[in-house]
Amino acid sequence: MDFFEKIFTWQNIITSVVIPFLLYMMSPILDRLRNIIIRLVSRMPSVIRATWRSKRAKELNKIKKQRQNGDLVTYVSIRSHAYLILFFGSLAAYWWLTMSGALQRFNEMPDTVQIIIGLPIFIFEVLWLIYNEKAKILVSYRGKLRVTSQSTSRLRRRTA
């Protein structure tokens, strides 16, 4: 049996179409589940809530300090894109190795070797997701910077 005949079976094709469709249909249920979890967390004991709020406050203060530095915001955004490129590069390398025949007997390899071969894909994906979220947050808070009255008064003095 050819390698492609093993991959492109009707079972695999149907599964790859049905699972995303089911996830799409379940998204309202997942949103409700998220709201329920938020309500449960809001009713937690005060010690846990206080710890959670202090952690969130520290994160917000860190973001407020970082958003002032435009170079840092750009750096985090570029770093996110770099991890995305590395993620797609590792996927392409894995695909190329599979198609060229180097990994055709991948399922027969020991589990540890399979994990080591697939690990770069997951590492770069997780790093990309983390830094992408950081970049989104920083960019959104960067847009919330406001002009202070002190800077507008200087502008008025220059134009007068």
Rounded average pLDDT over 105-131: 87
| Nearest of 70, 87, 76 to residue 128 by alpha carbon | 87
121-141: burial string, b at 16+ Cβ within 10 Å, e else: beebbebbeebbebbebbeeb
Is residue 90 very low, low, confident or very high in pLDDT (cuts 50, 70, 90)?
very high
Does the structure show a pLDDT above 80 at 47? Answer: no
Give the mean pLDDT of the chain. 81
Full-prediction pTM beyond 0.85?
A: no
